[in-house]
Structure 1
Amino acid sequence: MNKENEEFMLRMMQMFEKQNEQHQAAMTALVQAMTSKSNDESRADMTPTSSGVSQTQLMNDIGSRVAMFQFDLETEKTFSKWYARHEAAFTVEGKDLEDKSKVSLLMSKMSDEVYEQYSKRICPRKHTEVEFDETVKTLEQMFDIKKSLFSHRFACINIARDDETPVEYTTKVNSMCESAMLQDIDAEGWKVFFWLKGLDASRDKSARTYFIRYVEQKWEKKESVNVNDLCEEWKKLLRQNSVVQEMEQVDKAVRALHTKKDFNRNHKKLWN
């Protein structure tokens, strides 16, 4: 092999070596890029909001600590009480859950009876088509007990211990008095309360119902009311009832007169 051929072969070998080095460098860069992407995806999968798997894991974790809701009217097991106890599980621990996931988690903690009634309420929509906040609001409307303020205050007056322990009895008294909002009653308010309480349970039943509604409507409008207002309202009702009774008597007399005329007319026809 002459010198020119040797130089040519040497240049070719150097070129192949350089290409091989470039190829190896490109492959190394590609592997590093793919490894980095895989690591990023793996880390993303570990976050609560990145994948369906982590959402499910978070839902299962929260769901295992939340009790099932059973509505019971007699024992006043309401949705508001249940949700007040578990709200943080949905809004704090579950803050990274998607809205639909929160709804699904909430529905999974409803009893069969509650879920069936709720499903009928939102029909034709499915529970997955209702936002979480609206779902909570609807459940509160359906499974709460709305007692009037006077009902709570009447209950306070009749508090009695029923074989409870000192702790249970004290807790009951505290809870009932807080519900009655006793701290908001002034002297005039107590007069109104005892005025209503003193109405006869049977003879004044309709009047008591009317005046409780009357007072609460006044309070809702931020209007004051006292016993003199109740007295005037009652006198107005009595006058209205008197007018109604007079009108009924007139109507009765007119009907009787028409009946008598019809009888006389028919009687004459029989004898003619």
Structure 2
Amino acid sequence: MDPANLLSVLKELMEDQRNQQREMMKLLLDRSEAGSGDRFGPEDRPSVMAAISNRIEKFVLDPEKEMAFSRWYARYKDIFIEEARQLPEGAKVRIICEKLDVVTFERNQRHVLPRDVSDISFEETIETLRKLFDFKASEFTTKYQCLKLEKSVAEDYLTYTGRVNEFCEKVKLHTLDSDGIKCLLWIFGLKSPTEAEIRQKLISVLDREYKAGRKISLHQLHQECENFLSLKRDCEAIAVNVKAVEAVSNEDRKSIECWNCEGKHYARQCKKKDGCWTTISAYAPKTGCSNEDKDESYVTLDDVIRSVLEGDILTIAGDLTG
């Protein structure tokens, strides 16, 4: 079969399946409304849940996409409000959890511990998922990104117009006054890699002021920039002084040499054992040693000292090695 014809057949089959699901849902709703108004009976519930689940795509988190979960839920909100209104809370929660991918489901499950996801109401589940998966850039950052909009080569002008319109409305660009636009342009002009730190700092300042409901002028923004640069210079000066002190200290260490092991420390700090005496000449009257007594073997200095009687005076001459 020709690929184009095969694709056409598959599309028709999918459309027929959707129509059958809609008809089944309509039939079940009509039966429920025609009755006492109670929820679906146990015998109907699996069919309703399957029909609803088949109409909802799986939620896969995109970290780069802003308000990811709210965008996804907005597409299917009416299904839960209208078509699933007769389902119990637990059934709607199961459908939502079934449509989360593995990563998002496990993250949500860890977040609600020690409770189980099935023990949480539908509304609380939605709010929890919004908190976990709705990344929202700061207010000023979104306005700042508005200036970075670009039309792609493959994008037609109508699509580009819609994207610009949506973005500007979303970030409420019309709320910016004259000073707000000046500050926006001032920061946007800081494009050098060396100014990245300043740019980040000033965006955080503007974000803080906007959240507090305060406005900031261009001159105040410049003053914030000067304050940051002054603080940075002070920090760099302190860092240079610390490095200079460390350098002097290292030079002092180089001039120190242990007589025992020739290491860069004082002899009293040396951890090496004492050296060995060779060709020892000793004189100790009370011990019975004379200048003529010699020991050609290696003897530690401690052994020589321990051999001397208490109160005797020991005189040693010889070579120390090791």
**For residues 57 and 48 of structure 1, what CA distance do their matches in structure 2 show?**
17
Could you tell which deviates more after superposition, 179-188 or 165-174?
A: 165-174
Q: Tell me, yes or no, if the aligned pair for 1:71 and 1:77 is still in contact at 8 Å.
A: no
Alignment of 1:50-61 (within 5 A): 51-61=41-51
The match for 1:237 is: 228
Q: Tell me, yes or no, if the aligned pair for 2:143 and 2:171 is still in contact at 8 Å.
A: yes
- Equivalent of 2:214 in 223, 233, 238: 223
The match for 1:126 is: 116
Question: C-alpha offsets along residues 156-176 of structure 1, whole Å, 9 cap, x if unaligned?
Answer: 323333222343222212112
Q: Tell me, yes or no, if the aligned pair for 1:48 and 1:54 is still in contact at 8 Å.
A: no
1:179, distance to aligned residue in structure 2 (A)? 2.3
The match for 2:196 is: 205
Change (3 A) 1:51 1:207: same
Instruction: Give structure 2 stretches of 5+ with no counterpart.
Output: 1-31, 268-322
**For residues 54 and 259 of structure 1, what CA distance do their matches in structure 2 show?**
83
**For residues 255 and 122 of structure 1, what CA distance do their matches in structure 2 show?**
51
Change (3 A) 1:76 1:220: closer
Question: What letter matches 1:171 in structure 2?
Answer: G
The match for 1:145 is: 135
1:48, distance to aligned residue in structure 2 (A)? 4.2
**For residues 249 and 161 of structure 1, what CA distance do their matches in structure 2 show?**
47
**For residues 171 and 48 of structure 1, what CA distance do their matches in structure 2 show?**
44
Of all paired residues, the percent bearing the same amino acid is 25
Question: C-alpha offsets along residues 203-262 of structure 1, whole Å, 9 cap, x if unaligned?
Answer: 100111111111111111111112212211122222222222222222223223323333
Change (3 A) 1:114 1:47: same
**For residues 34 and 116 of structure 2, what CA distance do their matches in structure 1 show?**
31
Relative to its length, the structure with more strand (as a share) is 2
Question: What letter matches 1:243 in structure 2?
Answer: D
Question: What letter matches 1:140 in structure 2?
Answer: R
Change (3 A) 1:85 1:203: same
Change (3 A) 1:156 1:249: closer
Could you tell which deviates more after superposition, 77-86 or 108-117?
A: 108-117
**For residues 236 and 170 of structure 1, what CA distance do their matches in structure 2 show?**
41
Cα RMSD of the aligned pairs, angstroms, is: 3.1
1:75, distance to aligned residue in structure 2 (A)? 6.2
Question: What letter matches 2:43 in structure 1?
Answer: V
Could you tell which deviates more after superposition, 159-168 or 177-186?
A: 159-168
Report the TM-score, using the length of structure 2 for normalisation: 0.61
1:45, distance to aligned residue in structure 2 (A)? 7.8
Relative to its length, the structure with more helix (as a share) is 1
**For residues 201 and 149 of structure 1, what CA distance do their matches in structure 2 show?**
23
**For residues 109 and 226 of structure 1, what CA distance do their matches in structure 2 show?**
47
1:190, distance to aligned residue in structure 2 (A)? 0.2
Question: What letter matches 1:203 in structure 2?
Answer: T
The match for 2:288 is: none
Alignment of 1:1-272 (within 5 A): 47-49=37-39, 51-73=41-63, 78-162=68-152, 163-266=154-257
Report the TM-score, using the length of structure 1 for normalisation: 0.71
1:46, distance to aligned residue in structure 2 (A)? 6.4
Question: What letter matches 1:211 in structure 2?
Answer: L
1:82, distance to aligned residue in structure 2 (A)? 0.9
Question: C-alpha offsets along residues 14-53 of structure 1, whole Å, 9 cap, x if unaligned?
Answer: xxxxxxxxxxxxxxxxxxxxxxxxxxxx999864426433
Instruction: Give structure 1 stretches of 5+ with no counterpart.
Output: 1-41
Could you tell which deviates more after superposition, 131-140 or 160-169?
A: 160-169
Could you say what secondary structure the match of 1:243 adopts?
helix
Q: Tell me, yes or no, if the aligned pair for 2:39 and 2:86 is still in contact at 8 Å.
A: yes
Q: Tell me, yes or no, if the aligned pair for 2:66 and 2:137 is still in contact at 8 Å.
A: no
**For residues 165 and 241 of structure 1, what CA distance do their matches in structure 2 show?**
46
Structure of greater relative contact order (alpha carbons < 8 Å, 6+ residues apart): 1
